[in-house]
């Protein structure tokens, strides 16, 4: 296994993160082209670089995993505070601080080497430090990569199903 270093996003990471997005697009559009597509490569690195306002917010986390100086993985997460109406809600989690992991991607060359595991563990530690009592994420149910990762590797359990119906 390679030595993996996790650090905060820094300017210049956009090209590596763009490649991760392209790798992810290739994987997901191959298994479910009716739901996923390959992102446009033109301008993608600049787009990835351009979200500094979001990354600088105290409740957000943007982590990069490096292997031998290369961007091998990327994670985005946010701390969600309890909602004011939690006492009237049926979902227990809404009354607690939660870590919402919105994106985890690994460059194809580094898959199954512990990159995503290292990123998620770092995000969970960050969430705990910020008072989160649960971590939540979603993924595509037919993914042979991500479903076993979340359930078997990381110990997450299924809690909901997202339904979709095409209207046009």
* ∠ Cα 123 129 131 (to 5°): 105
Q: Give the pTM.
A: 0.93
Nearest to 106 by CA among 136, 149, 147, 65: 65
pLDDT digits (tens, 9 = 90+) for 75-87: 999 999 999 999 9
The Cα–Cα gap between 104 and 125 comes to: 16
Write out the two tokens for 4: 């993996």
pLDDT digits (tens, 9 = 90+) for 59-78: 999 999 999 999 999 999 99
Hey, which CATH number is domain 4-153, 3.40.50.2020, 2.60.120.10, 3.40.1010.10, 3.40.630.30? 3.40.630.30
Residues 5-14: what's their mean pLDDT? Answer: 96
Percent of the chain with pLDDT over 90: 89
Domain spans of the chain, in order of start: 4-153
What pLDDT, on a 0 to 100 scale, did the predictor assign at position 2? 85
The Cα–Cα gap between 134 and 26 comes to: 31
Q: Do residues 45 and 18 make contact, with C-beta atoms less than 8 angstroms apart?
A: yes
């Amino acid at each position: 296994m390679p030595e993996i270093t996790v650090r905060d996003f820094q300017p210049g990471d956009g090209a590596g993160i763009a490649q991760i997005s392209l790798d992810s697009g290739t994987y997901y559009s191959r298994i479910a082209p009716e739901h996923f597509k390959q992102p446009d490569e033109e301008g993608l690195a600049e787009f990835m670089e351009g979200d500094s306002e979001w990354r600088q917010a105290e409740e957000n986390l943007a982590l990069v995993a490096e292997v031998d100086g290369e961007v091998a993985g990327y994670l985005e997460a946010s701390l969600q505070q309890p909602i004011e109406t939690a006492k009237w809600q049926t979902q227990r989690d809404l009354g607690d601080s939660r870590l919402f992991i919105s994106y985890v991607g690994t460059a194809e060359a580094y898959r199954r080497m512990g990159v995503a595991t290292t990123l998620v563990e770092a995000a969970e530690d960050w969430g705990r430090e910020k008072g989160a009592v649960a971590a939540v994420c979603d993924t595509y149910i037919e993914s042979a990569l991500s479903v076993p990762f979340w359930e078997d590797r990381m110990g997450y359990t299924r809690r909901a199903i997202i339904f979709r119906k095409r209207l046009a």
